[in-house]
Amino acid sequence: MNENIKFVQGNEACVEGALFAGLDFFAGYPITPSTEIAELLSIRLPQRGGKFIQMEDEIASMCAIIGASLTGSKVMTATSGPGFSLMQEALGYAIMAEIPCVIVNVQRGGPSTGIPTRVSQGDVNQARWGTHGDHAIVAITASNHQDVFETTVEAFNISETYRTPVILLYDEVIGHMRERLIVPKEGEVPSVKRLKTSVREGVDYHPYLPREDGRLPMSDFGGVHRYNVTGLFHDMWGFPSDNPKVVHDLLRHLVDKIHNNVNQITKYKSYYLDDAECILISYGSAARSALHVVDYLRPRGEKIGLLELQTLWPFPHSLISEKCRKAKYVIVVEMNMGQILKEVRIAVEEPEKIFLANRIDGVFITPMDIRNIMRLIQGKGV
Amino acid sequence: MAIKDYLRERFFPHLWCSGCGHGIVLNSLLRALADLGMSKNEIVMVSGIGCSSRISGYVDFHTLHTIHGRALAFATGVKLSRPELNLLVPMGDGDALAIGGNHFIHAARRNIDLTAIVMNNRIYGMTGGQYSPLSGQGIMATTAPYSNIDYDFDTVELAKAAGATFVARSTTYHTQQMTKMFRQAILHEGFAMVEILSQCPTYFGRKNRAGSAIDMMESYKENTTPIGSKSKMENPDLIERGIFVQKEVPEYCNEYDKIIEKAMKGR
Amino acid sequence: MERCRMVFSGSGGQGIITAAVIFAEAAVLHENLNAVQSQAYGPEARGGATRSDIIISDTDINFPKVIQPNVLVCLTQEAYNKFYPILRPGGLLITDTRFVKIHKNVDAQQKELPLFRSVMDTIGKPIVLNICMLGAVISFTEIVKSQSIMKILASRIPSSFLDMNKKALDLGMELAAAHKT
């Protein structure tokens, strides 16, 4: 038996991915359906000298991981809707101060306490715009445990590369169901190390002056360079500034560093898109039902394909536009009231050919739900 | 090290109003650090939002100017990740005891080795003079135009009840006592809370006819007394100054090291 | 192989979910099959009818839930009443004689087994009822070998409890063998 084969929950696959990526520090507060992540890390992190702390709430958890990240640690927190709402202000701080960190949101039904033990994908737009002010954000997701592992590693890689918080938007079905995971050996999946400054002691270090490639080498708190970190607009030393040029340039930098790299950041999977007349666009656990439909109908002669998005933000508009150009109709499959549907409508040239197959009742969307929508579109009734 | 070496002088003059007590707190704090001979690279100062939080901009340490009320939570992350660093967390009334009250009691409860400094001016200065949880009944503020009906927290009692292992109080009038307290608080292994009564002549003073900064400082002299003094027994309204709690209790990061040891053995 | 869709049901505390996880894990780790296991969470999982879904297949499993199981196990009357209508016509229904009174006219291969009574008579510990049930399931379905189940148990429970669990597993297999037609 291969030692690296495991039969685990998605939440455990996420933990394995985070540890593979070099997680040093986790702070969190229990909330269904993400709690297993905290429980497992409370066991695993100290076994390798890492730190786990259960904070007094999700606000404190988000703040604690930012503090820890500044000392050079790779950091993560995990939560669900209500906790994710509480994290938004500190998430904005991490964006502004360019602190690498990973936030897992195992989505459940909302708004408010909603339906804690049931699935939803209702936080997609919250991930995009939950914190105030103009900003860019990276949010990624996955539909099976092998991909959960890899996207979790990828989240750390993106957060280090671009010095940005990255949101992992999983959902209750993925978090709780168990299936096979093969944990790769060290080196089999690339893991990005923190880029540290090479500026020597006594030489002026500019924590917020990007290199030519746009990256910002860091210096750990406690190291030889003392600088300021703030949520205010700040100059290249990290000190507050209300100089209009400083404000303008920083905001542009924060947005451009993500949006100019959409192609590098975007990950997706495609199934039978080349000749597809009907394209399903889906993500997360809903993509499993969509793929089930495709696998069922293809052998029966239907020209149907699936575009599974793994990167939700920044949204890959040009990818969608290109892939959907030849399709007769496109169905977005998601468990919300059309949050990605709106983006797809913006992306494609003929928005009238875009339809929504969704469920918002806490029940996992079934292949039959999707096929019923297809029948309606095709004029066959249900 | 001379205390000037701890400053980022290029940011002076500071933004505090003339007569504000916060500069006196900064002065005493830097003297305490100089007395202890601490090097700048081993100090991390974490602050929140408000007049008090701007202190972190003026000191040449690793400085983390965060969001309102959450300084202690950020500091907990820094400290647990790098326990060898010394964490100083200056806060105002709001940071420490309104929006940040929950983090205050929980940091105290954990006994994590941080030095929390509560600069109590009984008013929200940065936003223009609204009442705070330390204002107390009868105080006038821009949001208490008919006088305040909220009772105030006793910061010392709250810290004690939450489990802080070093609890002290002084005022901007008693700078030498304050410096000494800071020294002891920084050396204390565990959660240390020092409350400093610090005057805000601009808002608290004007709204409450408390006079000039000098008048307010003199009132600190007149209205406070050392812990357990005879005058306290004669006049229970006097506010006590001094060290209320100083005890040795296992510190959080040290305890976590033991968890790591246990977890590694169990493998 | 034909894809096997199973639902294990009973009440909280009967070890229904544990049995489902062990079964699916054995299929993945020791039979080189794919499996997906899921369960209902929340207040209803702490009392009332507990349910866990398992799908076993030699190909990829996308849709992870079971809508119409071809194997249904019910260890309480409440679970039976709630779930027997979803069984695929002609499917396998395993119930415990002590806890469940079945309707005779259901289109299913109905296996009423004295699991609880046999466990109490031969082992005396109700805690291994779920493993005895698992023995019956693996005997009827022939997807997972008993050695594979034992390997998973060995990795999950203290060695001092292994014998008792082995006995329970064998007991379930014997009971099933006696009811095979």
Whether B5 is in a domain gets the answer no
Domain boundaries along the sequence of chain C: 4-178
The rounded mean pLDDT for chain A is 97
Look at chain B and report how many structural domains it folds into.
1
* Exposure on the CB side of residue C84, measured as CA atoms within 13 A: 22
* Exposure on the CB side of residue A345, measured as CA atoms within 13 A: 10
Q: Which of B1, B15, B45, B74 to mutate to test the interface with A (most CBs of A within 10 A)?
A: B74
Tell me what pLDDT residue B136 has. 97
Whether B182 is in a domain gets the answer yes
A46 contacts in B (CB within 8 Å)? 256, 259-260, 262-264
Asked if the C-beta of B222 comes within 8 angstroms of chain A's C-beta atoms, the answer is: no
Whether A382 is in a domain gets the answer no
pLDDT tens profile A307-337:
999 999 999 999 999 999 999 999 999 999 9
Looking at the predicted structure, is the pLDDT value of residue A36 above 70? yes
Tell me what pLDDT residue B1 has. 77
Q: Stretch A165-177: mean pLDDT, rounded?
A: 98
Question: Same domain, yes or no, for A85 and A70?
Answer: yes
Whether A352 is in a domain gets the answer yes
Q: How far is A159 from chain B (nearest CA, A)?
A: 18
Tell me what pLDDT residue B19 has. 97
Question: Which of A218, A241, A265 finishes a domain?
Answer: A265
Question: Same domain, yes or no, for A227 and A306?
Answer: no
Tell me what pLDDT residue A3 has. 74
Q: Which residues span the domain enclosing A73?
A: 1-265
Report the candidate in C162, C168, C132 with the shortest Cα–Cα distance to residue C150. Answer: C162
pLDDT tens profile A77-113:
999 999 999 999 999 999 999 999 999 999 999 999 9
**CA-based nearest residue in chain C for residue A32:** C42
Q: Give start and end residues of each alpha helix (H) in B88-151.
A: 93-97, 101-110
Instruction: Output B148 or A381, whichever has higher pLDDT.
Output: B148
Q: Which of C44, C51, C52, C63 to mutate to test the interface with A (most CBs of A within 10 A)?
A: C63
Q: Which residues span the domain enclosing B119?
A: 17-265
Question: Same domain, yes or no, for A367 and A227?
Answer: no
**CA-based nearest residue in chain A for residue C21:** A178
Whether A154 is in a domain gets the answer yes
Tell me what pLDDT residue A333 has. 98
Q: Stretch A15-38: mean pLDDT, rounded?
A: 98
Whether B3 is in a domain gets the answer no
For residue A290, give Cα distances in angstroms to A305, C38, C96.
9, 19, 38
The span from the CA of A17 to the CA of B157, in Å, is 45
Question: Same domain, yes or no, for A260 and A291?
Answer: no
Tell me what pLDDT residue C70 has. 96
Structure token pair of residue A10: 């998605």
Question: Which of A265, A295, A312 finishes a domain?
Answer: A265
C25 contacts in A (CB within 8 Å)? 7, 178
The span from the CA of B160 to the CA of C44, in Å, is 42
pLDDT tens profile B211-223:
999 999 999 999 9
Superfamily of C4-178 according to CATH: Pyruvate-ferredoxin oxidoreductase, PFOR, domain III (3.40.920.10)
Q: Stretch A106-125: mean pLDDT, rounded?
A: 96
C29 contacts in A (CB within 8 Å)? 1, 5, 7
Q: Tokens 């780790």 — which residue?
A: C29
Three-class secondary structure assignment of chain C? CCCEEEEEEEECCCCHHHHHHHHHHHHHHHCCCEEEEEECCCHHHCCCEEEEEEEEECCCCCCCCCCCCCEEEECCHHHHHHHHHHCCCCEEEEEECCCCCCCCCCCEEEEEECHHHHHHHHCCCHHHHHHHHHHHHHHHHCCCCHHHHHHHHHHHCCHHHHHHHHHHHHHHHHHHHHCCC
Look at chain A and report how many structural domains it folds into.
2
The span from the CA of A31 to the CA of A45, in Å, is 19
> Can you give the CATH number for the domain in which B195 is found?
3.40.50.970
The span from the CA of C49 to the CA of C44, in Å, is 7
pLDDT in tens, chain C (181 residues): 889 999 999 998 899 999 999 999 999 999 999 999 999 866 555 567 889 999 999 999 999 999 999 999 999 999 999 999 999 999 999 999 999 999 888 889 999 999 999 999 999 999 999 999 999 999 999 999 999 999 999 999 999 999 999 999 999 999 999 998 7
**CA-based nearest residue in chain B for residue A201:** B41
**Interface residues on C facing A, Cβ-Cβ cutoff 8 A:** 21, 24-25, 28-30, 34-43, 45, 61-65, 67
What share of chain A has pLDDT > 90, as a percent? 98
pLDDT band of A1, cuts 50, 70, 90: low
Tell me what pLDDT residue C12 has. 84
Tell me what pLDDT residue C47 has. 62
Preceding omega of A33 cis (within 30 degrees of 0): yes
Whether A5 is in a domain gets the answer yes
What share of chain B has pLDDT > 70, as a percent? 100
Tell me what pLDDT residue A214 has. 84
> Can you give the CATH number for the domain in which A159 is found?
3.40.50.970
Report the candidate in A247, A235, A306 with the shortest Cα–Cα distance to residue A273. Answer: A306
Contact predicate C30/C153, CB 8 Å: no
pLDDT tens profile B34-59:
999 999 999 999 999 999 999 999 99
**CA-based nearest residue in chain A for residue B106:** A56
The pTM (predicted TM-score) of the whole model is 0.97
B103 contacts in A (CB within 8 Å)? 56, 60
pLDDT band of A279, cuts 50, 70, 90: very high
Tell me what pLDDT residue B39 has. 94
The span from the CA of A179 to the CA of C142, in Å, is 20
41-60 in chain A: CB under 8 A from chain B:
43, 46-49, 51, 53, 55-57, 59-60
